Amino acid sequence: MRRRRAIPKRKRIFLGCEGESEQAYGRFLNNLAELSGVKVHVVTVNLQPAGDPHKLAIKAIDARKRLEREGGFVGAALMLDIDRLEELPDKGRRVREILIESALITIWQVPDHEGFLLRHFRGYEDSILPRGKSFDPLRAEWPTYHKNMAAMDLQRTLTIDHVRRAEKACAELTELLKAIGM
């Protein structure tokens, strides 16, 4: 009689995403992990409509609780643009408290997703551009970039070396990569 080989269960990581671009980035990280032999499933959840960081934080917490019923998570994170915090009456103090209480690794994209991606390129690791000013420099580094790229499109340009460069300026990205197993 032939023995069945048990397939190891993949560890699950929750990633709340402000929009499609962040979802694709989460899938991109999942693909990188797979290529390096890490058996993981990054569960990306689009929290649209984007905008209010407080509402997005609450939606992420609720989504994680709902999805935990299907199986636990070994890590949980949320990707948010930092530029919207200044618009809140308390400048984001309560949002930050909620996220700390919920133990969500919060990857603050400075000032937005394009600014976050720009930090993946040599010479821009510590770059902090004003709101709305990161798209053009990103396109100069990455001429084929456009909003809402698919994970496979990201992977045609970005490598693990790019991610390692970005994590030097983003400790929360390092936390997420550790949770993933990278």
Tokens of 78: 């949320």
Q: Which residues contact 142 (CB under 8 A, 6 or more apart)?
A: 117, 121, 157
Question: pTM to 2 decimals?
Answer: 0.92
Q: What is the widest separation between alpha-carbon atoms in the chain? A: 68
H helix count then E strand count, the chain: 8, 4
Distance of CA 86 to the CA centre of its chain: 21
Put the strands of the sheet holding 105-109 in their side by side order: 40-46, 11-17, 75-81, 105-109
Predicted confidence (pLDDT) per residue in 20-40, tens digit? 999 999 999 999 999 999 999
Predicted confidence (pLDDT) per residue in 76-134, tens digit? 999 999 888 888 888 889 999 999 999 999 999 999 999 999 999 999 998 888 888 99
3-class SS string, 56-78: HHHHHHHHHHHHHCCCCCCEEEE
